[in-house]
Amino acid sequence: MEVNRTSISEFLLQLQDQICSALETADGSATFKEENWERTEGGGGRTRIIRDGAVIEKGGVLFSAVQGEAPAFLFSEKEHSVASGQKQGQFFATGVSIVIHPQSPLVPIIHMNIRYFEMDNGTRWLGGGIDLTPHYIVEQDATFFHSALKSVCDRHHKNYYPDFKKWADDYFYIAHRKETRGIGGIFFDRLNSSEDMSFEKNLAFWKEVGETFAPVYTELIRRHKDEVFTEKQKQWQLLRRGRYVEFNLVYDKGTKFGLETNGRVESILMSLPKLAGWEYDFHAEPGSEEEMTLKGLRKDVAYVK
């Protein structure tokens, strides 16, 4: 199959179908509701939302394919400059974005995004990532999650896991809190071709990252969905969701891209939880599970060798 925007979009639509089916099975109660939308400037998307399930309180699996005049910030930000000094042109971007907020504080929040971007001057690249935000850090889960990501990376390039894990640690960082959003994962951007990796090889890696989501997250759901939790743990979940909101509204570049390209607001802000909390000057009880989790929210933790 020829590699172009059409074939990539078709893969993403199929991936959306597969992930939604897996999540519905794992939840066992709720189903996704679909909305199709169009963007005035060009393109549109297929938004699927699941709510008030046995496992999932709120979640979304979103597909979009949009095009039009490239937003100015793509050219003004040094680290994401497409063609410094050149006239802005037309862009095409397609991707699948996922955020799942579970009912139980013992089941982690998860996020994944894989995206393809091209300009009419021939520039094209792949980006994406997957990261886990447990309300309570469980060492076995962290090892399982990072081992799965490392296996995917190692099948394609020996440097991808260490490089992309560090990128995730740096990206998913709440600077004003001096803590990471969760236990990280992998994050990459501007992936095109290099001396030892063609665009097609990187595309195969990119696809495998997307296909890793469902088996990894449904296993984490299976491990914890039936565990009993306390009201204290539920209140802690609300505080951790509050930190999640802070990151997405202050730092997340995907949110910024969507808003600055006149995307569908409901889809862009799908990542926010149904309920969240903020408590003034909160301090975890010394020696508590909450304090141990806060101590673990830092960069450069080696979850796997």
- C-alpha closest to that of 109 among 237, 269, 291, 284: 237
115 forms bridges with which residues in the sheet?
95, 127
If you search the block for the tokens 């909305």, which residue do you land on? 35
Active site residue 111: yes
What Å distances lie between residue 45 and 101, 261, 263, 266, CA to CA?
22, 14, 10, 12
> Which one of 111, 135, 146, 224 is the catalytic residue?
111
E strand map for the chain = 33-38, 43-51, 56-69, 90-102, 109-119, 124-133, 173-174, 179-180, 185-191
CA 266 to chain centre: 17
Length of the chain, please?
305
How many other CB atoms sit within 10 Å of the CB of residue 291?
Answer: 13
Report the C-alpha gap between 186 and 180 in whole angstroms.
13
- d(CA 77, CA 163) in angstroms, rounded, equals 21
Residue 172 CB coordination number (10 Å): 23
CA distance 105 to 103: 7
**Alpha-carbon distance values, 297 to 2, 143, 232, 291 (Å):** 43, 15, 20, 10
- What DSSP designation does 270 have? G
Residues labelled catalytic: 111
